[in-house]
Amino acid sequence: MTAENIGRTLGKAAPAKDAPLAPGAVVSAATPAACGGAPWVETPTEYDGILLASFGGPESQDDVIPFLRNVTSGRGIPDERLEEVAVHYRHHGGVSPINEQNRQLKVALEAEIARRGLNLPVFWGNRNWEPYVTDALAEAREAGASKLIALATSAYSSYSSCRQYREDFADALEATGLQGELEIDKVGQFFDHPGFVQPFDDGVLEAIDSLRAENPELALADVEVLFTTHSVPTSDANKSGPDTRGFGEGGAYAAQHLAVAEVVVADVAQALAERGEAGVELNWQLVYQSRSGPASQPWLEPDINDVIEGLPEQGRKAVIVVPLGFVSDHMEVLWDLDNEAKESAEEAELAFRRTPTPGVHPAYVSGLIDLVEERIKGTPKAERPRRTDLGPWYDVCRAGCCENERLGFRPAVAGLQP
């Protein structure tokens, strides 16, 4: 942004009324290589910037309620109820760690970009707090950018973790008046990219070593590994991913998490075998956390705290919590895991370890730029490294993917309509 605009913000964009298509295009605001709607774009594309998109979070006590109003906009939730959630942020001085984590990620991405000799500035914008996506697009345009490749800080398929970001981009293009001036492609969901998986492999191994150092008599059969992710309404989960894939209950969201968990378990078993512990079978399961909907609405289960409570009856003496669904240690990791899940483990008299999120792990940072380079080079699908049979995921989201049952299909970019 220009010097006189530094410190100002364009704010959260209103929902877009339209995501217009260029003549002959079937994907809104897409580059020529992606506008035809092919699932995987194998034509090289020259971008002139990266759009780093995230959720955002408050950075002072005064920010907390305005931030939560943004998060819940359109639902008519009174401030008194928002204060029930605000206590998590108040506990940390009103500051969510997510913005600082994104600053660190931006610096790490820029360093990796420079190391590879790529000329790509990174423009960072949030959904719910400063800097907003609108600010990032305005900054990019003022810098002369016209073609952006978007990296959203979310690895899996669902409304809130994929389609809503595509809606954010459509909202911001309309709000800034940049429709027709900025093209925005988006990297596919990267749940099974090696760079995303590696930090979880490392974390589980380190947690096992830590537990054994504390209690050399502890057997792996006494340990339960809980892979945890954000719960979502079952109706939304069932509509995650394209319906043509037939994922069934839990949709692509549950299937992707289960597939990645299986890879991590296999990797850890292999690493232990290389240490001389062949034939090890880890006890593990996929659990959910951070439910926020009414009790009458079905959400994905089981809840992590309920599972922890029942582990002693299964003979477990320790639990390793793996935040598989998260890319950084934001509030729902710090509060829901480091406070609530840890407290549940203490009440159950279980030793507790929580593994790190990818954060700025070198493999993760490198992997994100790998994803960008796949689009720059037009890497064929068959040559893209992925760790599960579900990927590589689509470069261009398929029609009807990740519908929000309550809101329906709103205008979005980087995918087929609706």
Token readout for 34 is 């992606």
> Which of helix, strand or coil describes residue 228?
strand
The whole-angstrom separation of Cα 184 and Cα 28 is 9
Based on C-alpha coordinates, what's the Rg of the chain? 21
- Strands in 318-322's sheet, in edge-to-edge order, are 283-289, 223-230, 318-322, 351-354
165 is in an annotated binding site: yes
Tell me the CA end-to-end span of the chain in Å, nearest whole number. 33
Closest CA to 201 of 326, 345, 328, 363: 363
332 is in an annotated binding site: yes
Q: Which strand (E) or helix (H) includes residue 269?
A: helix 251-274
The whole-angstrom separation of Cα 26 and Cα 12 is 27
The whole-angstrom separation of Cα 417 and Cα 26 is 7
The whole-angstrom separation of Cα 255 and Cα 394 is 15
CB 92, CB 57: distance < 8 Å:
no
Closest CA to 394 of 30, 8, 20: 30
Using alpha carbons, list the distances in angstroms from residue 67 to 45, 103, 234: 36, 18, 26
The whole-angstrom separation of Cα 42 and Cα 31 is 13
Closest CA to 81 of 296, 293, 337: 293
159 is in an annotated binding site: no
Q: How crowded is the C-beta side of 145, counted as CA atoms within 13 Å?
A: 27
Please report, in range form, the residues annotated as the binding site: 96, 165, 230, 332
Known binding residues for Fe(2+) are 230, 332
Residue set of the binding site for Fe-coproporphyrin III? 96, 165
